[in-house]
């Protein structure tokens, strides 16, 4: 038993390191995209599409990866996924055109499936009461984005931009070697519990609850991913900051949101996933209300003179509200997967892959919609107006689902205790009828 616990600890350490390395590659365009936009003079919409290219392929590959990992070794699939990234990382310095960068981004998206493979890799090693904490620690690998925001600019300053891709390739090769040598393989017992039928894997997807969790993850993960890609240029264009300061503030957001994910998993284990989710949504809704408000100037006609009133969310308040949202999103990402394991412990590959796909699609669609909204409306805060609407819809769906579940529970309780039948039997026939 103690030996198994030691192996579980190694599994969690190497899985988290692997996920962080892959996530740093998946979000590499958050740094490179700013340079590419300046060089190719991209519009906001074109820039949003460029940022979203790795996210799109990563999202679309997560579902088939989730099915594969139900039938084959998670460790071997993780190693294969990392090996496939090496060629594009080495080719990055040679790419010059917009289409070339889009294609490279789609290739880099292979790194996005590491989350689904990693979740299926670690879940058999931990008992149910520790799943939220374990998956929260693993999910802290989102901090790989913080690594990119700090490391990629440093590589560019020291050696030149053309060395970013090869340096990341060398780091990925090192991660492959470490994972191959030291990450434990599944035990025979765990292998014996694998699914033998794709039909069995797909059965839970018929339940509306799975897709509802996907919608929640669309916000807590999809918007996190979209913001870490969008924020550097937002700080530069909306507040006129330097590139270095924009990257530093985005790094703070990413690091804080990722580091609290483990704490969010503990809270979900302790207080329940639904309670955490509901608190997350309300917190984000309040913050997004203020972030959505554009800089406004009003003239109030007074009795003796006009009064000029300027309303604006300064960079300090903007960053504070953003950090609160980041913390809430970190809690939410952990609680969604805690809820998934509570309800579908034997289908973390297929169900987890489906929910992860929907969440990652948020990371693809939202930056594109941010760009379209900014081009159409003409104000920077249009992105946060859009997020406010997405969150309001998620909360409405969650409220209706809770009401429906409570109604079904009351109805089931009444039927089990014969309340409905007793009421019918108590009705006496009318005399002489």
**Per-residue model confidence (pLDDT) at position 432:** 44
Q: What is the DSSP letter of 344?
A: -
Phi-psi sector, 197: left (phi>0), alpha (psi -120 to 50), beta:
beta
Q: Per residue of the chain (433 residues), give pLDDT as tens.
A: 555 677 888 889 999 999 999 999 998 988 888 788 888 888 877 887 888 889 889 988 988 888 888 888 889 999 999 999 999 999 998 888 899 999 999 999 999 899 889 988 988 888 777 777 888 888 888 888 888 888 888 888 888 888 999 999 999 999 999 999 998 887 776 666 666 667 777 788 888 888 888 888 999 988 988 898 888 888 988 888 888 888 889 889 988 888 888 788 888 888 888 888 889 999 999 999 999 887 777 777 777 787 777 777 889 999 999 999 999 998 988 888 888 878 887 777 778 888 888 888 888 888 888 888 888 888 888 889 999 998 998 888 878 877 887 787 787 777 777 665 555 445 455 444 4
CB 392 within 8 A of CB 223: no
Pairing of β 306-311 and β 296-301? antiparallel
Tell me the three state secondary structure of residue 69.
coil
Element (H, E) at 347: none
User: Which domains are assigned to the chain?
Assistant: 2-190+212-422 (1.20.1250.20)
Q: What does the DSSP assignment read for 109-171?
A: GGGGGHHHHHHHHHGGGS-GGGHHHHHHHHHGGGGHHHHHHHHHHHHHHHH-GGGHHHHHHHH
d(CA 393, CA 395): 5
Looking at residue 283, its pLDDT comes to: 94
Q: How far apart are CA 351 and CA 353, in angstroms?
A: 5
Q: How far is CA 290 from CA 191, 324, 422, in A?
A: 50, 12, 54
Give residue 433's pLDDT. 43
Residue for token digits 């820039």? Answer: 47
Give the pLDDT score at 266. Answer: 82
Nearest to 373 by CA among 38, 48, 42: 48
Residue linked to tokens 């329940």: 272
Please report, for residues 44, 282, 319, 321, the alpha-carbon distance to residue 313 in angstroms, rounded to integers and kept in the order given. 22, 20, 10, 10
Give CA–CA dist 108/161, Å, rounded.
17
The whole-angstrom separation of Cα 202 and Cα 363 is: 24
Expressed in angstroms, the distance from the first to the final Cα of the chain is 73
Contact 169, 24 (CB under 8 A): no
Q: How far apart are CA 291 and CA 330, in angstroms?
A: 19
Q: What is the pLDDT of residue 190?
A: 67
Instruction: Yes or no: say if 66 and 349 are a contact pair by the CB < 8 Å rule.
Output: yes
44-68 vs 98-108: helix crossing angle, rounded to 10 = 30
pTM here is 0.75
Q: Do residues 185 and 73 lie in contact, with contact meaning Cβ atoms separated by under 8 Å?
A: yes
């Amino acid at each position: 038993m103690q030996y198994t616990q030691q192996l579980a600890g190694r599994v969690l350490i190497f899985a988290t390191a692997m996920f962080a390395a892959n996530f740093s590659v998946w979000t590499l365009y958050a740094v490179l995209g700013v340079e590419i936009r300046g060089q190719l003079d991209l519009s906001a919409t074109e820039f949003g599409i460029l940022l979203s290219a790795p996210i799109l392929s990563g999202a679309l590959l997560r579902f088939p990866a989730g099915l594969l990992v139900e039938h084959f070794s998670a460790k071997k699939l993780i190693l294969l996924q990392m090996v496939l990234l090496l060629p594009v990382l080495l080719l990055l310095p040679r790419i010059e055109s917009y289409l070339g960068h889009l294609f490279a981004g789609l290739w880099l998206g292979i790194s996005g499936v590491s989350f689904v493979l990693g979740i299926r890799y670690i879940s058999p090693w931990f008992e149910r009461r520790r799943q939220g904490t374990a998956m929260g620690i693993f999910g802290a690998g989102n901090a790989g984005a913080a690594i990119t925001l700090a490391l990629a600019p440093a590589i560019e300053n020291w050696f030149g931009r053309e060395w970013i891709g090869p340096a990341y390739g060398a780091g990925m090769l090192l991660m492959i070697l470490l994972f191959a040598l030291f990450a434990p393989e599944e035990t025979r017992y765990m292998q014996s519990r694998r699914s033998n039928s794709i039909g069995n894997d797909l059965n839970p997807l018929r339940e509306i609850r799975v897709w509802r969790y996907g919608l929640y993850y669309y916000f807590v993960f999809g918007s996190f991913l979209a913001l870490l890609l969008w924020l550097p240029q937002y700080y530069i264009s909306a507040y006129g900051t330097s590139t270095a300061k924009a990257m530093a503030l985005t790094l703070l957001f990413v690091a804080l949101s990722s580091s609290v994910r483990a704490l969010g998993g503990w809270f979900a284990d302790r207080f329940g996933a639904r309670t955490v989710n509901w608190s997350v949504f309300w917190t984000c809704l309040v913050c997004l209300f203020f972030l959505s408000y554009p800089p406004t100037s009003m003239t109030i006609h007074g009795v003796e003179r006009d009064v000029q009133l300027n309303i604006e969310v300064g960079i300090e308040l903007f960053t504070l509200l953003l950090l609160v949202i980041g913390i809430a999103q970190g809690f939410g990402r952990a609680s969604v997967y805690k809820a998934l394991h509570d309800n579908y412990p034997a289908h973390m590959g297929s169900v987890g892959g489906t929910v992860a796909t929907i969440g990652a699609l948020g990371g693809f669609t939202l930056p594109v919609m941010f760009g379209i909204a900014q081009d159409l409306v003409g104000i920077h805060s249009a992105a946060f107006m859009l997020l406010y609407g997405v969150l309001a819809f998620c909360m409405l769906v969650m409220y209706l689902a809770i009401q429906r579940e409570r109604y079904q529970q009351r109805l089931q309780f009444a039927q089990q205790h014969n309340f409905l039948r007793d009421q019918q039997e108590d009705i006496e026939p009318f005399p002489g009828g």
